[in-house]
């Protein structure tokens, strides 16, 4: 039976010592009273809820799964009651606008609490996660009447929400969706079509579900420029805000999946369902990107969260399981064999788990803090730069964190050996649950194309130079610190290599766009290592300036060294493969495969 303990010490390290979030938030409008005491109190309560309410349902929810009958979905035992407790405590509206019933706390806190709930129960966390995204999207783009009708009910958890993009013939290519919206005399629309892979698309946890649906009007332009967004509630809403008659939409089935079995992944059929426009006609994709970008960050967080719980259980097993003697001599003479944690290869796996997980936590916290800066800083230039950084790093957060999360969960299972393959130990569930994170919200290959094409080459590398300037400033700041040379030296070299390789790929792509596509996935991974390398260097600096007799800081420094010596050198291979060109991929005729 797996266990979970919220990593509060490391979370506090990131928030208070690495990022100094109290000072940053204190300079932002609306967060002046968010101090260390409040942050710690929220973290403690989120840990308690995740450890005692959510985690005990994780394995049982996976085994039971969701059940479908006559268009209705029943969630696993305990899910509905836990959701009610979660909402009554105000967690869903943690960073929501107080004008609509939210608590108005910063996103960096929402990221931390979201990590805990996902580690404890990834399937369950999908329901509030998507609802949060719908509330944010409507808050940003809906008219005042729609916001007043839907946002408070979403932030309170009285209703939940979904995003409905995918169709059977159209995954990432939303420009070819077939769902139609016909205008009605009263200003609403009749929405018809089928959407698939809709997470939390049908369930029994709330009285209503608010679907954000992408559809096209009859005279819409072709492609993605003709997409509009509509609110299509499961039940229509009366003028007084109460739930009215059933809308003409139904759940046709739910998917039988590899993982996240407690989350209902639905096929939804809209048959002239009543819908209400969000934003302007033909600007639905722009509106949906508010939710998609938030979902991509949340998906990256799944890689971190499931990696954390996998690491915790692998570490506990490695300390307890005895097998063979250490190559350098007996370490536990009172036992018939040594604990497997003495073996170098087991330590390699555990340290990889630890390095990728703690690096992700630092990155996610920094990114969330910049979302707060983008939204609330009084200086327009500072807000703009924060937004540019978030735009650049979002595809890296989604892809690099989930690729690494999958690696971490696989290593967790590997540490347990044969027991890792057995359901009762729980490690195989984390492997199954995390695997979807590399696929949905835009596959990681799509994230790589987005990074290379839209975020780097499209603006001539302006966003990349902005982040590069931050890295360079840190390197210069520590140029005279001999203890930091083992980190700043390789970081400077990698920064230079990123700059030079970006120029080479950009030049080749000007005459052959396939060059960018061929390099994109390796390029994203190189940038991911630059990002993690920067944060591990910063964490090493904090550790070096602290009391290294404290085991926490000593471990932090040692993990930073492991990252630089054993993980970041992967970039040497990646730089070679991403510059090898597109011919080796595209010259082979289709019939030769």
* pLDDT tens digits, 229-281: 999 999 999 999 999 999 999 999 999 999 999 999 999 999 999 999 999 99
Distance of CA 575 to the CA centre of its chain: 26
207 contacts 158 by C-beta, under 8 angstroms: yes
* Residues 122 and 302: beta-carbon distance below 8 Å: yes
pLDDT at 289: 79
Angle formed by the axes of helices 551-562 and 344-376, nearest 10°: 100
Over residues 124-140, the pLDDT tens digits come to 999 999 999 999 999 99
Q: What is the pLDDT of residue 213?
A: 97
Residues 6+ apart with CB under 8 A from 135: 93, 96, 100, 150, 151, 154, 155, 161
> Residue 407: how many CB atoms within 10 A of its CB?
17
Sign, Cα dihedral of 2, 53, 59, 438: negative
DSSP-based three-state secondary structure for 441: coil
Question: Does the pLDDT of residue 291 top 80, yes or no?
Answer: no
Tell me what pLDDT residue 177 has. 95
The yes-or-no verdict on residue 215 having pLDDT over 90 is yes
Q: Which residues are catalytic?
A: 441
Question: Which has more confidence, 170 or 39?
Answer: 39
Q: Picking from 143-157, 276-290, 430-444, 502-516, which range would have the lowest pLDDT averaged per residue?
A: 276-290
CA dist., res. 267 & res. 21, Å (int): 42
Whether the predicted pLDDT of 88 surpasses 80: yes
Q: What is the pLDDT of residue 54?
A: 98
Q: How confident is the model at residue 290 (pLDDT cuts 50, 70, 90)?
A: confident
State the chain's mean pLDDT as an integer: 96
The distance in angstroms from the start CA to the end CA of the chain is: 44
Mean pLDDT calculated for residue range 202-223: 96
Split at pLDDT 50, 70, 90, the class of 111 is very high
């Amino acid at each position: 039976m797996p266990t979970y303990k919220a990593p509060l010490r490391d979370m506090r390290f990131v928030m208070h010592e690495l990022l100094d979030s109290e000072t940053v938030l204190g300079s932002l409008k609306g967060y002046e009273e968010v101090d260390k005491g409040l942050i710690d109190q929220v973290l403690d309560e989120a840990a308690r809820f995740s450890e005692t309410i959510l985690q005990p349902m994780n394995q049982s929810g996976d085994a039971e799964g969701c059940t479908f009958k006559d268009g209705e979905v029943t969630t696993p035992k305990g899910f509905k009651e836990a959701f009610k407790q979660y909402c009554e405590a105000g967690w869903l509206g943690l960073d929501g606008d107080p004008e609509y019933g939210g608590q108005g706390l910063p996103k960096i806190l929402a990221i931390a609490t979201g990590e805990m709930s996902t580690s404890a129960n990834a399937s369950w966390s999908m329901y509030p996660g998507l609802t949060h995204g719908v509330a944010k999207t409507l808050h940003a783009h809906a008219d005042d009447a729609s916001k007043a009708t839907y946002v408070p009910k979403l932030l309170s958890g009285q209703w939940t929400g979904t995003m409905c993009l995918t169709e059977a013939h159209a995954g990432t290519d939303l420009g070819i969706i077939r769902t139609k919206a016909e205008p009605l005399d009263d200003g609403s629309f009749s929405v018809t079509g089928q959407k698939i892979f809709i997470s939390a698309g049908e369930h029994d946890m709330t009285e209503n579900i608010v679907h954000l649906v992408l559809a096209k009007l009859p005279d819409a332009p072709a492609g993605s420029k003709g997409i509009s967004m509509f609110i299509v509630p499961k039940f229509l809403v009366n003028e007084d805000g109460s739930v009215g008659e059933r809308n003409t939409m139904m759940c046709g089935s739910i998917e039988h999946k590899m993982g996240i079995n407690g989350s209902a992944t639905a096929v939804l059929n809209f048959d002239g369902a009543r819908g209400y426009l969000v934003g302007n006609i033909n600007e639905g994709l722009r509106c949906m990107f508010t939710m998609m970008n938030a979902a991509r960050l949340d998906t990256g967080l799944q890689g971190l969260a499931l990696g954390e719980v996998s690491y915790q259980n692998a570490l506990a097993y490695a300390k307890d399981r005895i097998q063979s003697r250490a190559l350098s001599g007996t370490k536990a003479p009172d036992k018939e064999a040594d604990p497997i944690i003495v073996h170098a290869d087991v330590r390699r796996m555990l340290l990889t788990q630890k390095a990728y997980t703690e690096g992700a936590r630092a990155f996610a916290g920094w990114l969330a803090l910049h979302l707060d800066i983008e939204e609330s800083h009084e200086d327009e230039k500072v807000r703009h730069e924060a937004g540019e950084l978030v735009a650049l790093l979002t595809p890296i957060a989604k892809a690099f964190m989930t690729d690494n999360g999958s690696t971490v969960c696989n290593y967790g299972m590997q540490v347990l050996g044969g027991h890792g393959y057995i359901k009762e130990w729980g490690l195989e569930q984390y492997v199954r649950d995390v695997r979807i994170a590399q696929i949905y919200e835009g596959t990681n290959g799509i994230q790589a194309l987005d990074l290379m094409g839209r975020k780097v080459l499209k603006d001539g590398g302006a966003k990349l130079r902005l982040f590069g300037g931050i890295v360079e400033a840190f390197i210069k700041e520590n140029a005279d610190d001999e203890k930091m040379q083992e980190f700043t030296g390789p970081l400077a070299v990698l920064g230079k290599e990123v700059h030079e390789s970006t120029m080479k790929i950009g030049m080749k792509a000007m005459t052959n766009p396939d060059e960018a596509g061929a390099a994109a996935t390796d390029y994203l991974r190189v940038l991911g290592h630059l990002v993690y390398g920067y944060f591990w260097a910063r964490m090493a600096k904090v550790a070096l300036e602290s009391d290294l007799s404290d085991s926490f800081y000593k471990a932090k420094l040692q993990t930073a060294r492991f990252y630089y010596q054993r993980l970041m050198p992967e970039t040497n291979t990646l730089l070679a493969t991403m510059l090898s060109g597109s011919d080796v991929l595209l010259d082979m005729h289709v019939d030769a495969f």
